[in-house]
Structure 1
């Protein structure tokens, strides 16, 4: 009796373990009854009819497919090695279960085929610089193809595009030459700018020097002008005072003659051997003679 109860308990535990399922939050289940699709169940406890129903779990989380590296020929007949990764998620458990046998293999082959088509239309330089375009185009193609498999391709990332070694070496030399060219251009441009700045500096210095000289000459001329004006004003004032003094003293012919003789003395004091007197000096000399006669008369008296 006890053995029978033990057998029944073991059987019930087996039935419970096999036909009572617990689905996680990221899972859904496809239930088949007698080999036919019956229903799709969500997360939680699922009780199946023993021996009649079967449950197929479907993971709804985003998953990754690593596409193996492959050789692809570009438009300009260059062989490159390309590999990529595909991120996808199941959106329809029914189609994901019944419309594809091996999703991993199917999407891998599909990705490799479309990579050949996409890169085959591009030249090597475009292939190396157009990863975003390749990613977007490949994702669009794969998403359209996997729609009937109940899956959605979220994104595609090209991991590596590797040209042949000789191409890499040639590209390296080209890059080095391009950098040297840019360095030479920058150096020449720097020298040009330096010379321009130097010329502008010399120009500004020359302008400032010329302006300084002009200002100095202007000030010197102004000072000389003021000196001449002051000198002329002084001479004018002196002449006016002399003229006023002469008129106030009421000079006669004798005084004028004496001053004339003093002037003649100064003239004769020079080193010249000949002295030219104006024609009017004869009248003055006669006056001098008259003055001399006056002095003689005064002595006789």
Structure 2
């Protein structure tokens, strides 16, 4: 009986030792860090790899250092020109200081999410709708800078911010389409007017060159007749010199 009693004690002792070792030995992956608390007080950061902690006396909080992707829900935003839009974004961030991420904030994931939503509304509300559609890169950088500065006390680094969608209601889409069409018509009229102006300037230059020598005008008449003749038209119109008309008018007045 004594042998069985000693054997049972040995088995219990071995189980206790194994349980002690299991709770004392921690294996951390390359992207993990352990925030160690000794009797409730912060005592350091350990890892990655094999670490040893004192059971009951020390507690460990694992922190993942990989980049996290946070999908910001769609937010109702009123732009500076009083246009109501729905905007959502995605944020990439990671923990760079496990101590701050564990001690300074209760849940850094939720805190970053809530801060991202308020920052998104605040930044976009200061810009016009055209800026939201055309200046996304600048808006992304502005939001990233604000988030990065505010989450620095939590040990978080915001790596990138991307605005995904800017949803506009149907009436505003039609208004934007009409605006774009009007802009295209305006540009077409301006281009047409510039073309007329350039043509008028060239015609004025040509007239000045031809008027410098009467023979040049006669050669131009002959060139025009040659062009008309090559097209095999049945009717030929001869240009009537304006100088001859002035002479005839002068003769009629003298009579």
Q: TM-score, normalised by structure 2?
A: 0.69
Specify which of 96, 120, 129 is matched with residue 124 of structure 1.
129
1:53: Cα distance to partner? 0.9
**CA 1:188/1:54 → structure 2, altered by over 3 Å: closer, same or farther?**
same
State the partner residue of 1:81: 86
Larger strand proportion of the pair: 2
State the partner residue of 1:151: 156
State the partner residue of 2:77: 72
Cα pair 2:95 2:157 within 8 Å, conserved: yes
CA distance in 1, matches of 2:52, 2:106: 26
1:96: Cα distance to partner? 0.7
State the partner residue of 2:115: 110
CA distance in 1, matches of 2:144, 2:129: 21
Deviations 1:181-201 (A, max 9, x none): 65677789899999x99xxxx
Deviations 1:68-100 (A, max 9, x none): 111011112211111111111211111111001
CA distance in 2, matches of 1:85, 1:137: 14
CA distance in 2, matches of 1:58, 1:76: 44
2:115 is the counterpart of 1:100: no
Q: Which has the higher contact order (CA 8 A, sep 6+)?
A: 2
CA distance in 1, matches of 2:14, 2:177: 75
Cα pair 2:38 2:59 within 8 Å, conserved: yes
The aligned runs of 1:1-301 (5 Å cut-off) are 1-179=6-184
State the superposition RMSD in angstroms: 3.4
Q: Which runs of 5+ in 2 are unaligned?
A: 1-5, 203-214, 220-255
Larger helix proportion of the pair: 1
CA distance in 1, matches of 2:56, 2:129: 60
CA distance in 1, matches of 2:20, 2:7: 20
CA distance in 1, matches of 2:135, 2:115: 21
CA distance in 2, matches of 1:20, 1:8: 18
3-state DSSP of counterpart to 1:66:
strand
Cα pair 2:75 2:121 within 8 Å, conserved: no
3-state DSSP of counterpart to 2:127:
coil
Deviations 1:155-196 (A, max 9, x none): 2111112222211121123334444665677789899999x9
CA distance in 1, matches of 2:59, 2:164: 40
**CA 1:2/1:192 → structure 2, altered by over 3 Å: closer, same or farther?**
farther
CA distance in 2, matches of 1:158, 1:85: 7
